[in-house]
Amino acid sequence: MTRVLVSGGTGLVGSFIVEHLLTNGYKVTVGGRTPPSLNAFSKPVSFVPLHLDPEADQIEAFDNIYYFVHAAFDHLPGKYRGGEGDDPKGFQAKNLDGTVRLFEAAKDAGVRRTCFLSSRAAYGTQPSGTLLTEGLLCRPDTLYGSVKLMAERSLHSLCGHGFVTASLRVTGVYGSARLGQPHKWQGLFEDYLAGRPVARRAGTEVHGADVASAVRLMLDTDSIRVSGETFNVSDILIDNRMILAPLKERTHCPHPLPDTADATDYNKMSTCKIGALGWTPGGRERLQQTLHDDLGLLA
């Protein structure tokens, strides 16, 4: 049975990845600052301490590891863009230099494949209405986007015989909350129910389970088709009105919904490239089920 090390395996996205890999027959080691709780996953996982520290020698964490999925990221709680706070140098040292050090350790330890969770933010500012394809010239306009893009390039520079690399540019990720944790839109729900102003906003989202299936494709697909490549991972374009409409219906809240956001010029992500590998996200049906599950938390 193949063993996979997942950094950041206790985070929102990492948890989906770990659970998906366990369900599909992988042995999983979670790497991070603290071990997962006893019943965090449906099957037992191993744990190794792992840190985004460019000065640390952590090659031993990769003992007996065949695949490495790097989903860890150090940022201010709840923020990616702007997640550096008042310490941009520290943010870059951890998330770029620390990440590259882990990539190098993985290769030196004999890991066969590494999959990196990058971000839509790597594209940065593009003309309105541009379809974001993997071949576009990236213009990141945030430190977060720049760090993700530089980490992608550093990983791909290590690609070679015996070390397969792939990066996933992931859009916003949603999914039902784990027990005891807030769901992604809890703050939005609370603002609406309290009558506070809710912005008219649109954005692309993808379910965490669909991100996890994309990761597994990077591990299972013939190396010729994925090595040294970058793939977009995105699903549906939604707005705050769409998210809040089921809440209004369930609670009979008297507050008006925000207006429908104008998404005419929104830059959607093309997923043709990963779709050619067989990836199919859950679409609106999965969104509706997730909103239903999240609304159940209000009961």
Between CA 215 and CA 209 the distance in angstroms is 10
The per-residue pLDDT for range 75-113, each reduced to its tens digit, is: 766 656 666 777 899 999 999 999 999 999 999 999 999
Q: How far apart are the first and last CA of the chain?
A: 41
Per-residue confidence (pLDDT) for residue 51, from 0 to 100:
95
Q: What pTM was computed for the model? A: 0.94
SS3 category, 185:
coil
Residue type, 125: T
Sheet holding 202-207, edge to edge: 172-174, 202-207, 236-239
Give me the torsion for CA of 97, 47, 176, 229, rounded to 10°.
Answer: 40
Is 16 within the bounds of a domain?
yes
Domain-located, residue 180: no
What's the CATH code of the domain at 160?
A: 3.40.50.720
246 within some domain: no
Could you read off the pLDDT tens digit of each residue along the chain, which spans 299 residues? Answer: 689 999 999 988 999 999 999 999 999 999 999 999 888 999 999 999 999 999 999 999 999 999 999 999 987 666 566 667 778 999 999 999 999 999 999 999 999 999 999 999 999 999 999 999 999 999 999 999 999 999 999 999 999 989 999 999 999 999 976 655 677 888 899 999 999 999 999 999 999 999 999 999 999 999 999 999 999 999 999 999 999 999 999 999 999 999 999 888 899 999 999 999 999 999 999 999 988 887 765 54
29 lies in some domain: yes
Q: Could you give the CA distance from residue 53 to residue 99 in angstroms, rounded to a whole number?
A: 8
**Residue 218 sits in which domain range?**
3-175+207-234+265-281
Which pLDDT value is given to residue 210?
Answer: 98
Is position 272 within any domain? yes
| Total domains present in the chain | 1
Note the pLDDT of residue 295: 73
In a domain, 40, yes or no: yes
Q: Report the distance separating Cα 89 and Cα 117, nearest Å.
A: 21
d(CA 196, CA 199): 10
In a domain, 197, yes or no: no
Quickly count helices (H) and strands (E) in the chain: 10, 10
Q: Is residue 193 part of a domain?
A: no
**Strand 164-170 relative to strand 172-174: parallel, antiparallel, unpaired?**
unpaired
Predicted local confidence at residue 236, as pLDDT:
96
Q: Rounded distance, CA 205 to CA 237, Å?
A: 6
